[in-house]
Amino acid sequence: MDPLVVGENLTKAYGPTVAVNSVSFAIRRGAITALLGGNGAGKSTLTRLWSGTTHPDEGTLTFDSHPIADAGYSVRKAKNLGIRVVHQELSVCTNLNAAENLFLELSAHLAVGSWRRKASRLVEETLETVFPGNRVRGSSNIGALTLAQQQMVEIARAAADPKLKLLILDEPTSSLDAARSHQLLEYLRHRAQAGLSVVFIGHKLGEILDLADDFLVMRDGRLVWSGPRAETDHEKLVILLSARAPGIEKTGPVIGLSAGDSPPGASREAALVEVAGRWREKPELGAVKLFRGEIVGLAGLEGSGQQPLLLDMHGASARPQAKVTRRAQVAYVTGDRRKEGVFPLWTTMQNMTIARNARRSILQAVSTSVEKEWTAPWRERFSFTASAMERPILQLSGGNQQKALMSRALIDQADVVLLNDPTRGVDIGVKREFYQVLRDVARSGKLIVWYSSEDAEFLECSRVLVLRRGKIAAEISGPEATRESLTSAFFGSSETRAEVGEPQPAARRAMPGWLVPLAALTIVLAAIGLFNPRALSPFGLGLLLSTAVPLVLVSFGQMFVVARSEIDLGIGAFAGLINVISATLLVDKPFLGTAALAAGLVAYGLLGWVIYVRKIPALVATLGSAFVWTGLGYVLQPAPGGSSPEWLTAAFNMPIPWVPPPIWILLIAALAAVLVTRSRLGIVLRGFGNNETAMRQLGWPPVRSHVITYLLSAIFGLAAGLCLTGVNTASDINAASSYTLLSVAAVVMGGCDLVGGRVEPVGVVFAAVTLSLLGTLLGFMRLSSDNIAAVQGFILIGIVVLRTVWARAR
Amino acid sequence: MRKLFSQPWIWALLGVLALWGLLSIGTHQVNLGNLSGIMASAALLSIVAIGQMLVVTTGNGAVDLSIPSVITLSAFIATSVTGGQDARLLLGLLAVAALGAGVGFANALIVNRLRIPPIIATLAVGYILTTATLVFNRGFKTYAVSPLLAYVASGRVSGVPLILLVAAVLTWATSFLLHASVYGRNLSAVGQNRRAAHFAGVRVEVTTAIAYVLSGLLAALGGVLLSGRVSGAFLEMGTPFLLQSVGAVVVGGSSILGGRGNAFGTLLGSIFLVMIVTTMQVLRVAGGFQDIVEGMLILLVLAVATVQTPTAKKA
């Protein structure tokens, strides 16, 4: 049978870096192909060529005999051909539920009919097939799931595609425990037998040797070996990957100091770190003491409490009654460079010296010559060139960035060095260098505590603490640490493998975001009723709410921008401009007026486009736009005045029994906002607000969605402006200027998150009405209207605090 | 020369020079007299804008929205405490400094401890100050400004506005703080990557709190000087300083995303913005158009000069 994917002499360069260098390969149908290589070997680039994210400079690439190397090939086309990628970074949107996340991946299959139910069924069925016994539902909110469950949804989402032909998995087991990994590997074997081609990228060689049929091994952009499982083994792969002669292979469990030794000049009496007995499975054994000169590993199954313990050590103080006590300064090396490691604007040298600088008093001077002195030993040890030290750190390779972070911790001179999986995704050459450095550092009298996701690294430790379910279950000292002893300690004696992953916690139900604003509104309404019962009659309510309607509409406009994790500081001014246009131009020259309103919408969309394309912070851009809208308003109408078009006035005074016009406008607006939020369009917008990278990888066009977001915002702003005209039958460019900040307040009070794309239209209605009724309430209470702003401020802080406290208590 | 052009404030400098040329050649209406008027207004703006720049540099999307309210309230407090007497000026300054530092501290407390986004925190604090100002305004009767304050705010030493000297000293001190002190490193670290700064041992909360307190203090100083220039206090007098302070920060080449601040650029940005306004006044452009031009200018500068941050190298 002909192969599914064939590449001939593929080359792809980014600037001077040749990421993929004339690579030729074939991927068989119904086989599992392992793609191996260190950081910067070219695996990711090769994946990007397959998935349509980028195109090769040279060479040919075919999928199922279709050429896929041309510029017309895209992520969308790749998906249509049946190619799906599960990326290493989590690519689900945590503000959506599992079914909605499935929709983002499989929108083409769910284009018609009641897609929600279909999506929900499909995601639940697939999850059950791949990971039996999970407790994730289609309606489960992704943000409330564990990392492992999120990863499971992501894998299931790709596997659910009925047209799937090639499934590419980039380190899919990194956040799964052993039982779940096992289920996944079983499933992949099963699907491969049924004809699916799988490409599996990973660093855990044992797992991969068990799984894969074929191997592609890359190094420095070149394919160094390809062949079937039968022709390779662990030893051979290590040599291929590291490009070292076999002689220097063995590092073995070499260790600085065993328990009895005393490092020169260091006292054995005082433990640098003490972990209280409460951390132990058997507290009666007392505290675990960690001394100078040790390399202590924190081992266990993924998520058994290793990282929390490490972070506790970082945050620990010398207080004796704490769970963890630390009696020395601490330095920290992360494996998550982007999130908690590098400072992207700085040079390598500045990145290296920050920890030591941060220890000094804040008014002391920093000097380049001192920094050179500090960095010199590590510059030499890790062989950084002089120019590498002066360049922005992001221009360095991943491995070199990691070396810089290690140097930062060692220049710091702290006696305790905490390692949070620092070799994650680093090639084997750099790893070896690190092992040697760590041994030397321990020998010099520092204490190293090391969490690793790669079990083999614990063989480098002088002592290993094995954690199980958040407690220290065993202590293994250096020479006894073997793969076998570690593995048996991980699982405990009485437990079987399958039990370890169970039970998965069921998804937590979050408090509905509209609850607090509803309570606030009820209190305000009740208070108003107390002072003036007639205010709560239908007529009274209509009167009260007529002033609230424009703010509600502006708040919806704000909400859609907030769904994109941005803030619009121009929307109030825009509503004011619409107010002016509709009360002047629209009355005198209806045609010109309509054209002006349309132009306003276009301008807003354009603003959204500029913000996205030029990557301008929306906050400042919209603040600038506010001045443009206000200026236009002044030019059109220098002083308040104008009149309302007849049809608009009529619409606001339509006699509908029992339901005053403001209330039905409010209901229609709320319904529209809810429908848009839940629609396919709304899901895409919210997806972008939560995880833009993931949305791009799924093939959704970012610019279009950004422009649509701003158009939606403008439409609600337009409605708000028309309402102002209808209610006030006049216009004032400043009529809505206070609404901008109030709308931000309403959106936050209503239960939306400013970052992350979580929105709550119903809550926004309650919050906006509450804010606008405060003036009336203070009036009834015979308090000066001067106090409105302060009350609004306190309510805003109060509600946000309440919500934070609530979230933390859970 | 190449080094000059890689400075973040180069665009602001070129803008200032171009406008100056335009004004002096094109209109024949600019002389040393109104140039020093421009410089005095710009100096006042830059004092406030430097505070804004420090807050913006803490990153996390931070903008200090409470600045206008602090300016207005401190103008009221300074005028009323001083009562037009030089002898009471020190007392007035102390009162205002307490206000500014207190507001900054409150902002920092809400941001750091209650974990509320900076924009919401400073917005809410601004609301509360607005009410405080309104309440203050009711019992407010004084319109006299201490002569010494008026001299500092509007006086000149051999043609150079005194307030420009104040601004220059502040700019120089802030420059030292940002580029040559441990605090500058800490602030930049926090602004670039808050989590990484925490793990590198930077005291994140203290670092941001100092920025907010300095911003509050500088806004308060700005309010006092403004009251000296306009001889008193009135409601909303601080309002224009929100957009203008943010504008000066952006035009001056500081990163609006945080992590990179520049004091000298902020001073140049302030001069540039004030020159734009003056140019339009000289050309007798209607008020509405002035707003439009100012807004478009900010958008334009952002669109053209926003430094596209380098993305992480992919493996």
pLDDT per residue over A111-135, tens digit each?
777 888 889 999 999 999 999 888 8
Three-state DSSP class for residue A20: strand
Distance from CA of B59 to the nearest CA of A (A): 12
Q: Which of A29-43, A341-355, A761-775, B57-71 has the lowest mean pLDDT?
A: A29-43
Question: Is the pLDDT score of A257 beyond 80?
Answer: no
- From residue B124, give the alpha-carbon distance in Å to each of A551, B111, B130, B153: 18, 11, 10, 30
pLDDT band, residue B193 (cuts 50/70/90): very high
CB contact under 8 A, A616 and B181: no
Q: How confident is the model at residue A248 (pLDDT cuts 50, 70, 90)?
A: very low
- Picking from A308-312, A328-332, B30-34, B38-42, which range would have the lowest pLDDT averaged per residue? B30-34
Is the pLDDT reported for residue A252 higher than 50?
no
Task: List the single best residue of A797, A801, A802, A805 to mutate versus B (max B Cβ within 10 A).
Answer: A797
Instruction: Provide the mean pLDDT of chain B.
Output: 87
What is the distance between the alpha carbons of residues A364 and A353, in angstroms, rounded to a whole number? 14
Among the partner-chain residues B117, B255, B306, the one whose CB lies closest to the CB of A614 is: B306
Q: Given a cut of 70, is residue A659 above it in pLDDT?
A: yes
- Across the interface, whether the CB atoms of A362 and B117 are under 8 A apart is answered no
Distance (Å, whole) CA A43 – CA A202? 10
Q: Using CB atoms, pick whichever of A44, A744, A800 lies closest to residue B314.
A: A44
How far from each other are the two terminal CA atoms of chain A, in whole angstroms? 56
CA B20 to each of CA A114, B24, B25: distance values in angstroms, whole numbers, following the listed order? 65, 6, 8
In chain B, how many H helices and how many E strands?
Answer: 14, 2
Strands A197-201 and A32-37: parallel
Q: Across all residues in chain A, what is the average pLDDT?
A: 85
Lowest mean pLDDT among A610-624, A725-739, A780-794: A780-794
Strand partners, B156: B161
Buried b / exposed e along A574-583 (16+ C-beta atoms within 10 A): bbbbbbbbbb
Q: How far apart are CA A358 and CA A414, in angstroms?
A: 12
Residue listed under structure tokens 């094109």? B26
A-B CB pairs within 8 A amount to: 255
Sorting pLDDT into bands at 50, 70 and 90, what band is A492? low
**pLDDT tens by residue, A510-540:** 667 788 889 989 999 999 989 888 888 888 8
* Structure confidence at residue A494 as a pLDDT band (50, 70, 90): very low
Lowest mean pLDDT among A633-637, A703-707, B17-21, B229-233: B17-21
User: Going edge to edge, which strands form the sheet with A295-300?
Assistant: A330-334, A416-420, A447-451, A295-300, A463-468, A471-477
Q: Respond yes or no on whether the N-terminal peptide bond of residue B310 is cis (omega within 30° of 0).
A: no
Tokens 């954690």, located at residue: A467
- Out of A438-452, A454-468, A609-623, the most confident range is A438-452
Q: pLDDT-based confidence at A256, cuts 50/70/90?
A: very low
**Residue A498, pLDDT above cutoff 70:** no
CB-CB neighbors (< 8 A) of B189 in chain A? 343, 354, 358
| Strand pairing report for A17-27 and A5-14 | antiparallel
B294-B296-B301-B302 Cα dihedral, nearest 10 degrees: 120
Q: Which positions in chain B touch A626 (Cβ < 8 Å)?
A: 243, 295
A490 phi and psi, to 5 degrees?
A: -55, -45
| In contact, A295 and A335? CB cutoff 8 Å | no
Which residues, other chains included, contact B49 with Cβ-Cβ below 8 Å and sequence gap of 6+? B244, B245, B248, B249, B252, B266, B269, B270
Please state, for a pLDDT cut of 70, what percent of chain A lies above it: 91
pLDDT at A253: 41
Average pLDDT of span B262-266? 94
List all residues of chain A from 725 to 744 with a beta carbon under 8 Å from chain B.
741, 744
Residue A19 pLDDT greater than 50, yes or no:
yes
pLDDT for A233 beyond 70: yes
Of residues A576 and A144, more confidently modeled: A576
Q: Hey, are the CB atoms on A789 and B131 less than 8 Å from each other? A: yes
For helices A178-193 and A147-159, the axis angle rounded to 10 degrees is: 10
Cβ B255–A345 below 8 Å, yes or no?
yes
C-alpha to C-alpha distance for A207 and A214, rounded to whole angstroms: 14
Which residue from A345, A361, A617 is facing B259, i.e. has the nearest CB?
Answer: A345
Two tokens, residue A238: 């290590």
Q: Output the pLDDT for position A243.
A: 58
Based on the number of CB atoms within 10 Å of its own CB, is A67 exposed (0-12), middle (13-18) or buried (19 or more)? exposed
Residue A481 has pLDDT above 90, yes or no: no
Q: Which of residues 649-678 of A touch B (CB under 8 A)?
A: none
Cβ pair B131:A334 closer than 8 A: no
Structure token pair of residue A517: 């604003």
Asked if A141 and A157 count as a contact pair (C-beta separation under 8 A), the reply is no
A499 has pLDDT over 60: no
CB < 8 Å to A344, chain B: 192-193, 309-310, 312
Q: How far is CA A84 from CA A81, A121, A166, A450, B230, in A?
A: 9, 20, 6, 35, 66
User: Which chain A residue is nearest to residue B257, measuring alpha carbons?
Assistant: A617
pLDDT > 90 in chain B, percent:
49
CA distances from A384 to A17, A405, A437, A445 (A): 18, 13, 15, 25
Q: What is the DSSP letter of A2?
A: -
* pLDDT band at residue A251 under the 50/70/90 scheme: very low
